[in-house]
A and B are shown apart, each in its own frame.
Chain A
Amino acid sequence: MSTIEVRPETYPQKEVQPRVVNDFSIQVATVNGSGSQTANTVLMRAIFQMGVPVSGKNLFPSNIAGLPTWFTIRASKYGWIGRKKEIDFLVAMNPETAREDVQNLEPGAAVVFDEPLKLDALRSDLHFYPVPFDKLVAPVCPEPRLRKLVRNMIYDGVLARLLGIELEEVRKALYKQFGPRKVKAADLNWGAVQAGWDYAEKNFTKTDPYWVERMDATRGKIIIDGNAAAALGAIFAGVTVVTWYPITPSTSMIETMMGYLKRFRIDKETGKATFAVVQAEDELAAIGMVIGAGWAGARAMTATSGPGISLMAEFAGLGYYAEVPAVIFDVQRVGPSTGLPTRTQQGDILFVATLSHGDTKHPMLFPSCPEECFTMAQTAFDLAEEFQTPVFVMMDLDLGMNNWMSDPFPYPDQPLRRGKVLGKEDLERLGGFARYADVDGDGVGWRTLPGTDHPAAAYFTRGSGHNEKAQYSERPDDYMRNMDRLARKFETLRKHVPRPEVILNERASVGLLCYGTTRYAAEESRDQLLREYGLETSYLRLKAFPFTEEVGDFIDRHARVYVVEQNRDAQMVSLLRMELEPEQIAKLRSVRYYGGLPIDARTVTDEIVAMEGL
């Protein structure tokens, strides 16, 4: 499952392949910190600009410079943008991993490599294109200091020539990437692209089958990562207090947000900020500030990953019991401490669902694409305030940090839903209020904000030991009444969370159930199952916990439901078990991948085929 799996040593002979157009993957193997990110983004963009659906995934180490890193670009005329397991076109720039990278290729793959590495001696069933990068970079980049960075641009030129990517699109992508303020740098890099192109033109006869041809499948689309999308979503949701403690892979959400906040949330009349961003001393403080701000009426959020979630446990419980709105983005990654902090996983699902001690339950949203990061950020704030409770947006590294093609985001068409808040006039009219009384029968009480200019506004907030009037109480009946109301509130919430996406296939007795980024592998796997095995399937993609009635219905309609997820212990299956009937539970099967790379369709297909006995 890893990209550095070692293969057996004997290879079948090189086959003659037909033209493969707009359906292959490129992997660029470089060294972290060598500045390859720009070259990779430009390459991806150029393909995108040619109208070909594309996705880019950065598989990077937890390191600033010096360790191997791989960037994978997948072009797919069918629109499959999940990870593809097989690499079709390798760009081998990293001497450390080059041999192993080449050994792992399927026969017939193509390799552009740094000439001194002599990789063409390794195998005879691949298409090799040696490029003397150092020789080519010297004349186009007189400044030796910059050569390490500019050098990577050469492979963009070589690949453009070999794959048939229009040079003009590379140029456009490159100048867009550098922006109007770095034209000089862009010029330098453009020289390198041209040098690569010229070299390829003069020296190579194309023998591999891979081609990019112009399509019209990306018109109007944007390229964005999930963290930036969530940042924008929060801004258009009217976030006012943002606290954070840096942690990969959530960091870029806040850093991107700060840029947009400065652009769009400075009050025109006064030049002052309608937001506060605080880099807290740790995640305990970050969530504490969010709870304080949410209590006082702000739309407050923090973004973190698993280790931060661990530190937030006590406050999450307080937020649940004291009924304080809060939004927490969990961009999930692998493992505690030095686990695989730069690899992806859906590993926090069970932990977050009941984070903290006691009978806590937290709503979770599962965005699967940038557009949902954008819209669900807004949903999260609305739910948090309407239901006065912490809401978790469960992203992952793959979604948060990788580049995705997306439709442009829709401008919100609903006003902000700020929930039940009594103001001065309400208090004037009512004379008073009981903070935790269920006056509307939906389990949600009315709150007041500190600072409300009225003597009857105040109430005292504490954990779970209180009666309806927010007075301290240890009486069993008060306690149970409150707990039952909280349970009722959760049931009301169930009716308001986003409903799953369901594709019912009347001919299918098998269903695939997925959530978040697992959707890409699941969707493509359905296609493989049908084309290769004739297996008809239905599909359900969860968008939220608590589960809505569609989930049980879906399971009832099928004989077997494969729950596809990216963790070892089938966490979503466990969560489903908590809410489903025994006969429904009996139908659940689990498909898991937990190697730290984004799950791929072939893995899902193979597992289902094995379990179905096909």
Chain B
Amino acid sequence: MSTAVMPPKKVNRIGLEIGSYKGGKTTLCAGCGHNAISERLIECFFEMGIYPWRVAKFSGIGCSSKSPAYFLGLAHGFNAVHGRAPAVGTGALLANRHLIGLTVTGDGDTASIGLGQFCHMLRRNVPMIYVIEDNGVYGLTKGQFSATADLGSKLKTGIVNDLPPIDTCLLAIELGATFVARSFSGDKKQLQAILKAAIAHRGLSVIDVISPCVTFNDHEGSTKSYSYMKEHDVPLHELGFVPAFEDITVDMGEGEVQEVTLHDGSRLVLKKLGRDYDPTDKLNAIRTIHEAHRDGHVVTGILYVEPGAKNFIELLNLVDEPLATLPESKLRPPKEALDEVMEELR
């Protein structure tokens, strides 16, 4: 790209307008939390100044999994099969380690049919941004409970969920994700800071975003509704994010502030709200989530971060050039190699 001269509209540090980050027109219901998340993704990739064509989008099946068509239209996208985005994303990142992997799926996709793949992606610390648009139900099949539905929450039809939820953040921390956050589609500022930090993080970022389904799970008795979240959302901290390319200090106002420096030099600025919370303390993170369940709160913010851990691609000791575009001279061993093996087998 040539750098734009005298941009007529607001451009980011690489000279692109926000329009370059948009996708097709959404076909999701008006007011669906997923749409707000799409908006945040558009803003964050724009503000972070990332070439959209460096991003590869992955999803499974569901309303949430449709959403990659509605942001970053200039990025390749792969709407895979139900629950299997982690495998497809992992494969693509193996093929091209320079891609920025972005998966957006649902709670059904992740915690029900795709739980196995989710767990193994966690173990591998695949360098990917993994957003769970969590509405506690299967939106696309019209409102059945998913595995993240809280105990006692009620469907519109009156059916009560009597099984405990799978907490995807707990699982993520337990099984090896190196960036774990929970947010709410209605909390623009917090979600933005989290998404930007996730883009900067070099391992797996799991972000569970409570994203109300206005059609099937936004009623009285639901624990994933807008009003429930407004009442029960307990942010752990006030979040600020300073990208590596901006050497500034953020004004977080009065109060105790903790900073976490990510691998690329970006900084997470966490301002204490109420209690002490150190997101690099794994045991405390797990404890805090359990306490929230006990107390009927939804804790949001950066739950856990481990900036230095090696990710899956790094462990494989791959050449720097994408495997996908290695020339034949690097792929096919010379004739002498075959001769050598043939000789051994004689």
Contacts and interface: CB of A to CB of B under 8 A. Distances in A.
Q: Chain B's interface: helix, strand, loop or mixed, by majority?
A: helix
A276 B81 contact: no
A282 B116 contact: yes
| Residue among B76, B79, B117, B342 having the largest count of chain A Cβ atoms under 10 Å | B76
A297 B95 contact: yes
A7 interface: no
B117 A409 contact: no
Contact of A460 (B52, B77, B84, B323): B77
B94 A235 contact: no
Contacts of A411: 335, 338-339
Contacts, number: 224
Interface stretch (A266-274, A337-345, A346-354, A590-598): A266-274
A146 B51 CA distance: 64
Contacts of B320: 270, 272
A35 interface: no
A459 B78 CA distance: 9
B330 A223 contact: no
A153 to B, nearest CB: 22
A361 B4 CA distance: 48
B53 interface: yes
Interface residues of B, number: 61
Given A272-B317, A272-B319, A472-B69, A463 B333 contact: no
Interface string B87-109: 11111111110110000000000
B91 A289 contact: yes
A53 to B, nearest CB: 15
A273 B318 contact: yes
Contacts of B330: 267, 274
Nearest to A289: B91
Interface string A261-284: 001110100101111101011101
B116 A281 contact: yes
B318 A295 contact: no
Given A292-B92, A416-B331, A450 B81 contact: no
B337 A264 contact: yes
B95 A240 contact: yes
Contacts of B73: 458
A297 B94 contact: no
B200 to A, nearest CB: 19
B90 A318 contact: no
A454 B74 CA distance: 9
Contacts of A31: none
A241 B332 contact: no
Contacts of B316: 273, 276
Interface string B41-66: 00000000001111010100000000
Nearest to B116: A281
A72 interface: no
Contacts of B68: 460
B299 interface: no
Interface in A300-358: 300, 314-315, 318, 322
7 contacts: A241-B94, A273-B316, A274-B319, A288-B91, A449-B76, A451-B96, A461-B76
Given A240-B331, A459-B76, 14 more contacts: A220-B346, A222-B346, A235-B333, A274-B330, A274-B331, A276-B316, A285-B87, A285-B116, A289-B90, A296-B92, A297-B324, A449-B76, A460-B76, A462-B79
Interface of A: 220-224, 232, 235-238, 240-241, 243, 260, 263-265, 267, 270, 272-276, 278, 280-282, 284-300, 314-315, 318, 322, 408-409, 411-412, 415-416, 448-455, 457-463, 471-472
Interface of B: 1, 20, 24, 51-54, 56, 58, 68-69, 73-81, 84, 86-96, 98-99, 116-117, 119-120, 316-320, 322-326, 328, 330-333, 335, 337-339, 341-342, 345-346
